[in-house]
Structure formats: structure tokens, C-alpha cells
Structure 1
């Protein structure tokens, strides 16, 4: 029998590569499915296991609130499962962060500027607080409102502890806010607050180079009219600065006139808004 040669037709390279890529895609899909399934099983186990229940709550960065107060404000309590809390969390600012708890703390604790609440495996909650610092008292028709430098209301009619604390906080009179809710920013024009703080800062700068200190004699700064910014000294002298311009010159001159030219029994107005030179008008008009 005559033998025949059979020519072997090799499969084209591009078809081989296509088949190889298809297999790789299938293997990757299977691996991805297995990893997802394993992850899901792990999460379900963690969410059901008492091993991941909250056992400790730690707070750092606060001088105003206890750990128990912050925990109550956040809605977190021991015994709850940490993973359930993470996955029931509506707000997710970051990995293992509890955004809902952070928001609740900020809403319920007026002195809290920023809160970071994290779940640490297996059973710890870490609360990191950045607090607002009292900067001034706003006199609202005789009712004191304690605010920070950004105008956020910390307390209504606060109880100030030491005499040093009372004297160190400047008193500001300005337009009346429409509402006063602790933890919220007062709807007072920002320029009015900034101008008041600028006046107080300038008084401190002038006091730093003078022997006679004026700041302890200041009753309040009134910025309700930005064209006629005023402050009161010893409840008897009103200093009208006009606009918040050339403050260092005006306040330095006011300090000198108050200590050297105005009698201790006189009452009246020292006006810097009427011209180049200040004018003192005694209350009697003399």
C-alpha cells in the first residue's frame, strides 16, 4: 500500500492567543467570584460574631466633654457589633470611619469643631475631637452669647468660672442675630465680628508698648454701625473710631488722651470720625 504524507495545518497564532486570553478571563472571573464570596462570608461572620462587639470607647482631644458624654452624643454604645455599625452607616467619610456618629457629635456638642470616629478591630471605638475655643461674649440685649472666633455659638448665658476667664473675654455689641442655637453659626455679618476682633487685637498691641493698660478698662466694642465703630471705657467714655481705618493711630491716641487729658470724673465722647484731630465732648457739653 502506498503511503501518503498528511500535511499538518497549524492553528494560526492569533487564534491561539485569542483562546488563551479567553481562558485567562474565565480564570480571573472565577478568582474574582471566589474572593467576593469569601469576603461576603467573612463580613457576615464578623457581623454576627460577638468577638467584634464594641467593648471600649476612647476619646481624645477634649477638655469639655467626658468619654461617656461623647459616646451618648454619637449614639454608640458598648455591646453593638462594630461591622454592623460600619455597614449601616449612611455617611462614609473614610475606611472604618463612622460618619453618622461624627455628625451626631458635632450636632449635639456645641464646643466640637470637628469629630473623627473610627472603629478599631476587634472592639474599640476611637473618638478624636477638635474643640472650638471661646473668643468673645456677644451682648444681645443683656443676654450674653459665648462665641468662638468664627461666630459659632457655644453657650447662651454662660457661667464663666474664674475672674481671669471673665476679664479675658472681650464683649462685643453688634446687630441682633435672628436665632441663637448652640453649635450653629450666628447670622451676624462677618465683617462686624472681624472688625470687633481687630479693635481688640489693636488695643492689645498698643498696651504691649505702654505702661498704662487700656484693655482692662474696655467695657465693650460696638460694631453695629461699621461707619461708627465705638468702644466704651470705664462705663463713662465712649470712643468713636469711625471706620476700621488707621486703628493703631486712633487707639494709641485714645489711650494717651484717656490717661493724660480726661479727668477721672469726666464722662463724654472722644470722637475720631469728625476730622483729622479727635474731639472730646463732655457729657455736660462743656
Structure 2
């Protein structure tokens, strides 16, 4: 009898311990914590596969005007038919276009689901003829080189002479290696133009030479070179120059020559040529008082 009871005790399954409500909740939370990353990964993989399969580039929509054809712009973007629309790096594609096709000033690329790439672009406005260390180029209004030239351009709105640059290539903005505490030649040009615009020279400056910071100069109306020396007292020098040019008793309205205003209180005008032989090489001295008479 005793043996039989012992046999029954051996074969009898142990009773499961019933979990409390708090323990069951904790168990569910642990399962959720373990399962959540798995679910996220599965969903991400599904979304990735879905984007590859569903959103393929099938065409392009272009908007803008300029010298480049649709095919040239699309090829420059680096985006191909069949590429995954969602994986395109839009910023890099935009940079490739403005670098490869320099006469495009700016471009915006957008995705148009499900299968189209939209490219909107703006033609660069050629404004400057720039001479860097003896080499001429055309640039847009932001000083991006759009074309290198064999000679000085005739149609640029303004011509600038600059010293040797660190960056001077088609598709890139002109750049200089500037030491701490020094000023970029382009910044010097901008400041010089800003000061000139405060005088009656406004709107008539057609060129500038900032290749040497100690020998700055401007071209007025394509006919008078204004020598200004260093930037010190530039406001007074420009006012003196403007007064001398405005006063036709000092400088004729059609005359060509050089106006040396490198000294703040006195300017000297030397005409390029005169009809009368006796007047050749003549230099006219103009004081600050005479310039404004």
C-alpha cells in the first residue's frame, strides 16, 4: 500500500504556481520590450523593399530657361531612370548640375510620387568680367565662374582685377586663402563699390582693380581710371574724384584719362591725348575746393 502511494506521488504532475496580476503584467511588458525591436526591424525592411519596388524613377519634369537641353540637365544630375526615387540624394544632384553646367545659377530638385523627378532651374546672369592673376573669366552675380576666356571680355557690366586666387575654375565660386585678420579681395571690392555708390559716381563705375590693396583703382564710365591708393580715407578720395568729374571745367564730359586721387585732399588729372600738340602730357591739378566749385 505504501509502495502504491509513493508511485502515485511520483507520477503526479506538480501544480503550476499561479502568477499574481502584477507578475503577469510585468511578464507581458518584458515580452513587448523584446518583441518591439523585432517588429520595428520587420516593418522597416518591408518599407524599404516597398520603396525599392514601388517608387522607381520613370520620368523627369523640367522647368526653366537657358542654353542647356533637357538631356544635358538630366545627365548632369546623375539620376537615372530606374533609380529608387526615395534613395536619391537631392542636394548632391543639385550640386552636380550647378557644377557641371555653370550657366545654371540655382536648381531645385523634388520627388513627385510615385515615379517623377522635378527639376526647376534658373539661368545664371553673367555680370562680371574677372581677371585673376592675368586670366580673364565671366562670372555670375555671386562670383561663380561660368566661362574662362582667352582675352578681356567686351560685354561684361563690370570688370574686376583680382590677385591670385585659391579657387578659380569653371563651376566654382572664386575663393582666396585669407590669413586671420586680413580681408578677402572680393570683400575689399564690395566695400569700395559701396563707398562709391554714396557719391555721384553711382551707377557709372564700370571696373575696379583690387589686385594690390595699396593701389586700388576704379574705372568711371569706361573712360577715366581713378587711382585711389590704399583704402584709408577712401570716402574723402571718392568725394574728391566725384566732384572733379562732375565739374566739366576740370574734366570734360567726354575726356579720357587718369585721375590720381590717392592723396585725400588733392587730385591730378592726366588726359590720354589732346588734339593740340602743345597740350600733350598736360596734367591738371584739382584741389578739394576746386572739385566742388
Task: Judge same fold: TM > 0.5, yes or no.
Answer: yes
The reply to whether residue 272 of structure 1 matches residue 261 of structure 2 is yes
Aligned residue for 2:84?
82
In structure 2, C-alpha distance between the alignment counterparts of 1:64 and 1:28, rounded to whole Å:
59
Report the number of matched residues.
251
Alpha-carbon deviation of 1:155? Answer: 1.9
In structure 2, C-alpha distance between the alignment counterparts of 1:252 and 1:200, rounded to whole Å:
13
Aligned residue for 1:194?
187
**Residue ranges of structure 2 left out of the alignment (5+ in a row):** 1-16, 273-280, 284-293
RMSD of equivalent CA atoms? 4.0
| Residues 50-104 of structure 1 deviation map (CA, whole Å, 9 limit, x = unaligned) | xx332232245665655433211011133x1425x61xx6xxxxxxx53442342
In structure 2, C-alpha distance between the alignment counterparts of 1:141 and 1:35, rounded to whole Å:
59
1:262 alignment partner, SS class: coil
In structure 1, C-alpha distance between the alignment counterparts of 2:269 and 2:223, rounded to whole Å:
12
Correspondence list, 1:1-286, <5 A: 17-49=22-54, 52-60=55-63, 63=66, 65-78=68-81, 80-83=82-85, 86=87, 97-112=89-104, 115-129=107-121, 133-140=125-132, 143-157=135-149, 166=155, 169-177=157-165, 180-188=168-176, 191-207=184-200, 215-216=203-204, 218=205, 220-233=207-220, 237-259=224-246, 260=248, 261-263=250-252, 268-281=257-270, 284=281, 286=283
Alpha-carbon deviation of 1:252? Answer: 3.4
Given that 1:232 and 1:239 are in contact with CA atoms closer than 8 Å, whether structure 2 keeps it comes out as yes
> Structure 1 residues 206 and 276, CA, compared in 2 at 3 Å: closer, same or farther?
closer
In structure 2, C-alpha distance between the alignment counterparts of 1:136 and 1:198, rounded to whole Å:
16
In structure 1, C-alpha distance between the alignment counterparts of 2:228 and 2:61, rounded to whole Å:
50
| Residues 191-237 of structure 1 deviation map (CA, whole Å, 9 limit, x = unaligned) | 32222233344444434xxxxx7755x55211112122112346664
Alpha-carbon deviation of 1:47? Answer: 2.0
Given that 2:259 and 2:269 are in contact with CA atoms closer than 8 Å, whether structure 1 keeps it comes out as yes
Alpha-carbon deviation of 1:133? Answer: 4.5
2:38 alignment partner, SS class: helix
In structure 1, C-alpha distance between the alignment counterparts of 2:141 and 2:83, rounded to whole Å:
39
**Residue ranges of structure 1 left out of the alignment (5+ in a row):** 1-9, 90-96, 208-212
TM-score, normalisation: structure 1: 0.67
Structure with greater strand share of residues: 2
Given that 1:102 and 1:115 are in contact with CA atoms closer than 8 Å, whether structure 2 keeps it comes out as yes
